[in-house]
């Protein structure tokens, strides 16, 4: 039972040529189901294929990551049980970003924290979610701020201007999924991407995941002759963000890549894009280790135990 046209994730990814630095974090990935144990939400907009925690951890090890940040996907609504189960099973090697409603109790928030949750996700992509009133989201943000959590936001570039006042009123760190989905057919120096850069420039609590080239690319997965890197039209956008805000960027695979209908990326090749967007070892270490550790495992960063 899957959404028609749904593609299953890539079962045999290529071994990346790029060797990840020790302690690297895949800071955006999901678990789906398994649906017989963790059913999908009735209000979901798509039904994915199951993608279990064991499969996620196998990918983590194969690619050379040490840790995961598992993000609640919309198909599980505000039922975070699959996410919590995966975080617990990871025994400290995964953190979570949950979805909660205003009705969530303090005890429930505490239990999520103990399981490893450190953020909530607010989704503004209209094909994925129904509208939630902003005052409800602000109320949630105020409550989770007290736990030291942050807010992850997912939106499309053309909606940033309208959402600007809401985003800039959030009282926490704010992490943007997939660079705010730039239209990479437009000029990198044009007003649309310029507004996103201004958003980060003017607000030093705003971070960005430089992830998901496979979702944003118009040129697609074909590499140029003699090069391995696919999705070449997305690379300049991601690289600009990494070079301008090296201490506020994160990277993730987005496995198992929900909602892709034309092709499924090879996760090994996605890893091989990293040196194109973060060209020096220092930028790579910040992107893959220092930044996600500071955000999701601050206690270990402070103790110097990683
Ligand atoms: C992503 C992107 C997508 C889906 C979701 O929660 C979700 O359903 O985030 C998308 O369809 O663009 O980050 O996985």
Residue 258, pLDDT score:
95
Indicate if ligand 1 lies below 6 Å from the C-beta of 277: no
Indicate if ligand 1 lies below 6 Å from the C-beta of 26: no
Task: Sketch the domain layout of the chain as residue ranges.
Answer: 25-304
Indicate if ligand 1 lies below 6 Å from the C-beta of 230: no
Give the number of the atom of ligand 1 that is nearest the alpha carbon of residue 212: 13
**Using the 8-state DSSP alphabet, how is residue 51 labeled?**
B
CA of residue 289 to ligand 1 center, whole Å: 23
Indicate if ligand 1 lies below 6 Å from the C-beta of 128: yes
Residues with Cβ within 8 Å of 102's Cβ and at least 6 positions away in sequence, in order, are 136, 139, 140
E strand or H helix that includes residue 213: helix 213-216
Structure tokens that stand for 98 in this block = 């949950």
CA of residue 237 to ligand 1 center, whole Å: 20
Active site residues: 254
Structure tokens that stand for 224 in this block = 């140029």
Residue 228, pLDDT score:
62
Domain 25-304 bears CATH identifier 3.20.20.140: yes
Residue 107, pLDDT score:
98
CA of residue 232 to ligand 1 center, whole Å: 21
Q: Tell which one of 71, 73, 79, 257 to mutate to probe ligand 1, the residue whose CB is within 8 A of the most ligand atoms.
A: 73
Residue 261, pLDDT score:
87
Structure tokens that stand for 105 in this block = 């109790």
- Give the residue carrying structure tokens 């040490």: 66
Residue 279, pLDDT score:
97
- DSSP secondary structure letters along 218-245: SS-SPPPTT-----TTTHHHHHHHHHH-
- 105 sits in the region (left: phi over 0; alpha: psi -120 to 50; else beta) called beta
Give the number of the atom of ligand 1 that is nearest the alpha carbon of residue 127: 11
Structure tokens that stand for 266 in this block = 């090879």
State residue 22 phi and psi, 5-degree precision: -55, 135
Q: Whose CA is nearest to atom 4 of ligand 1?
A: 258
CA of residue 67 to ligand 1 center, whole Å: 20
Cα–Cα distance, 154 to 122 (Å, whole number) = 7
Q: Tell which one of 77, 125, 208, 265 to mutate to probe ligand 1, the residue whose CB is within 8 A of the most ligand atoms.
A: 125
Indicate if ligand 1 lies below 6 Å from the C-beta of 99: no
Mean pLDDT by 10 residues, the chain (306 residues): 88 95 98 96 96 98 98 98 98 98 98 98 95 96 98 98 98 98 97 98 98 95 72 96 98 96 93 96 98 96 61
- Give the C-alpha distances (Å, rounded to integers) separating 125 from 59, 164, 191, 203, 235: 27, 15, 21, 22, 23
Identify each DSSP E strand in 142-276 by its residue range. 150-154, 174-176, 206-209, 249-250
């Amino acid at each position: 039972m899957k959404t028609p046209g749904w593609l299953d994730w890539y079962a045999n990814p290529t071994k990346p040529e790029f060797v990840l630095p020790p302690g690297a974090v895949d800071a955006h990935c999901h678990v789906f189901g398994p649906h017989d144990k963790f059913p999908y939400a009735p209000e979901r907009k798509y039904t994915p294929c199951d993608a279990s925690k064991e499969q996620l951890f196998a990918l983590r090890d194969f690619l050379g990551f040490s840790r995961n940040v598992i993000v609640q996907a919309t198909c599980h609504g505000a039922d975070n049980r699959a996410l919590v189960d995966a975080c617990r099973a990871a025994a400290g090697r995964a953190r979570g970003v949950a979805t909660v409603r205003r009705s969530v109790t303090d005890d429930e928030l505490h239990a999520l924290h103990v399981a490893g949750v450190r953020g909530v996700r607010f989704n503004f992509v209209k094909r994925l979610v129904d509208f939630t009133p902003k005052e409800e989201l602000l109320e949630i943000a105020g409550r989770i701020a007290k736990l030291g959590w942050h807010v992850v936001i997912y939106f499309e570039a053309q909606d940033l201007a309208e959402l600007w006042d809401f985003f800039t009123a959030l009282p926490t760190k704010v992490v943007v999924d997939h660079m705010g989905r730039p239209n990479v057919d437009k000029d990198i120096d044009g007003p649309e991407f310029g507004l996103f850069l201004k958003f980060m420039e003017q607000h030093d609590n705003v971070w960005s995941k430089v992830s998901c080239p496979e979702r944003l690319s118009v040129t697609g997965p074909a590499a140029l002759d003699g090069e391995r890197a696919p999705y070449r039209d997305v690379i300049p956008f991601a690289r600009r963000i990494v070079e301008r805000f090296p201490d506020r960027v994160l990277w993730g695979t987005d496995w198992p890549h929900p909602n892709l209908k034309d092709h499924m990326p090879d996760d090994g090749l996605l890893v091989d894009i990293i040196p194109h967007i973060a060209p020096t070892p220092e930028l790579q270490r910040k992107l893959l280790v220092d930044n996600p550790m500071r955000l999701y495992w601050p206690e270990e960063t402070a103790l110097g135990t990683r």
